[in-house]
Amino acid sequence: MGSRIELKKQISRNLEENIQAIYASTAASMDIVVRRFRLGNGQEAAAFFIDGLVSKDLMGRDFFEPLMHAKKEGIWTAELLAAEVIHSGEVNVETEFSTLFENVLQGLIGLFIDGCSTAITIEIISWPQRSIGEPETDVVIRGPREGFIESVRMNVALLRRKIHHPDFTVETVRLGRYSQTDVCLVYVSSIVNQGVLQKIKQRLEKIDMDGLMDSGIIEQLIQDTPFSLFPTIGVAEKPDIAASRILEGRVVLMLDGSPIALTIPMLFVEGLQNSEDYYTRFYYASWLRLVRFIAFVLNIYLPGFFLAASGFHQQLIPFKLLLSMSAAESVTPFSTGVSMLLIWIVYEILREAGVRLPRPAGQAISIVGAIVMGDAAVNANLISAPVLIVLAVTIVASFVNSAYTDASSILRLCFLLLGWLLGLFGLFLGTAILRLYLCSLESFGTPFFAPFGPMFPRQAGDTMVRMPLWLLRFRPSELSRNHRRMADMAPGKEDKR
């Protein structure tokens, strides 16, 4: 899991040798601060830390002041100082230089004492971080509005607020030869599938690279099928979503510096679900899930079906509509398929420009591209109005299921070409291949298309529809080893006496 920092193994009793080792190993980096001072008994000591990663106010009050007033007859040792003088934060005694240096690079303070072959690390971390707020891409009307931030410690604390149980477990590993990034595995030990947990640890152990900047890098390195169209590892930006998945038996993987948590394993139906589904009444939640499924189908099928119907199966189109479509297309210089491809490429360019530009300019680009350019293209007879309408409906449908944005873009193009070249036969052929492909995918040994392939009838109540909460008594059997989630507690039934 990444190489350890190569430094001298043991800490020297000579304070000057330890200080020179620090300077030699960091090439006198400007943010490495070494502060010499004397303890209360006159014994020399030195503290070193990373400027900007520690709270200087707390360091002066809780670190330097107690040490400089620590009077004692005889010599202070690291063990005595840690036990009798330093009482703030997490305090550890280290014997290896490499371990001490790694902890300091993570934001701790290192303390050397002259004449002592051990050192102390003290946690007074205070690095810059943004405040907790609602994620922009996961907005809800009803439900918690807090989202993860870039601090993995804060993110773990947000999850701990949701799950107050001794089985709530957090394991930390460091990955990256140079970045030495903290990666946390969070799960409930009495619920999690141990086989899945061991697979995650084994795949993390194989990661050996220079640095990890975001959880998306880990996602690509540990997933089952590297070339899969569909994501086989879920993502979560909100603590309530991550906590719910932990309670189903999943493992949440969080990377320091990334506000996106990974949830393992993932099922296909997760892309059609939303956290708000569980905070509202079941019939409305079921209707919303049905709407999302319809949007997913329209997103990938509508352009291809339009080309298949207009090119091969005109009998499927009402006669008056067919006449208006023919009249509109008769004045355009391109065929329907070519027009669809061209306008789709223009849309992808506009979407990318709107995302990359600053927000006010990006919104202006999107409005100009969607309204002005579309209207001008129709008035100039470059494309027909029906093609523009189909494209607009497809674009709106693509925003409904953000989890499958990447997959639906590729599938939409594939079904567009199949419908353009082979008609409905091509769409049926593509659908059969897609279903077989979905059934073949796995997420850490878990069937990705469950509970539809293979079938798990007992779990169908929380898929395309959401049954009442009191009927969802069991966790997904393929995700956990403790299947019962709640007791039998149907509401409205009073005890008969």
In this predicted model, what pLDDT tens digit does every residue of 319-340 receive, in sequence order?
Answer: 888 888 888 888 888 888 888 8
Please tell me whether residues 87 and 207 are part of one structural domain.
Answer: no
Q: In the prediction, which pLDDT does 366 show? A: 64
Same domain, yes or no: 267 and 321: no
Q: Which of 231, 253, 278 is the last residue of a domain?
A: 278
Residues of the chain with pLDDT under 70: 1-9, 27-28, 127-128, 359-371, 490, 492-497
| Domain presence at residue 461 | no
CA 198/CA 312 separation, integer angstroms: 52
Q: How far is CA 124 from the centre of its chain?
A: 28
Does residue 358 have a cis peptide bond before it, meaning omega lies within 30 degrees of 0? no
Residue 96 CA to residue 18 CA, distance in Å, equals 12
In a domain, 321, yes or no: yes
DSSP letter string over 26-53?
A: HTT-TTEEEEEEE-TTS-EEEEEEETTS
Q: What residues contact residue 27 under an 8 Å CB cut-off, 6+ apart?
A: none
Domain membership flag for residue 467:
no
Distance of CA 76 to the CA centre of its chain: 47
Same domain, 311 and 259: no
Retrieve residue 248's tokens. 């189903």
CB 110 within 8 A of CB 103: yes
pTM of this structure: 0.84
296 and 252 fall within a common domain: no
Considering the domain boundaries, does residue 81 fall inside one?
Answer: yes
Q: What is the pLDDT of residue 164?
A: 92
Identify whether residues 286 and 432 lie together within a single domain: yes
Q: What is the DSSP letter of 4?
A: P
Q: How many residues does the chain have?
A: 497
- Taken in order 345, 351, 356, 362, the sign of the CA dihedral is positive
Total number of domains in the chain: 3
Q: What is the pLDDT of residue 461?
A: 80
Same-domain status, 108 and 255 = no
Rounded CA-CA distance 329/345 in Å is: 19
Distance CA 2, CA 211 (A): 9
Backbone angles phi, psi at 44, to 5 degrees: -75, 145
- In eight-state DSSP terms, residue 96 is B
Q: Percentage helix, strand, coil, to 5, in the chain?
A: 45, 15, 40
Q: Residue 103 belongs to what H/E stretch?
A: helix 97-105
Please answer whether residues 447 and 454 qualify as being in contact, where contact means their C-beta atoms are separated by less than 8 angstroms: yes
Do residues 392 and 422 share a domain?
yes
pLDDT at 1: 46
Res 38: pLDDT: 93
Domain range for 307: 282-440
pLDDT at position 180 = 86
pLDDT at 494: 56
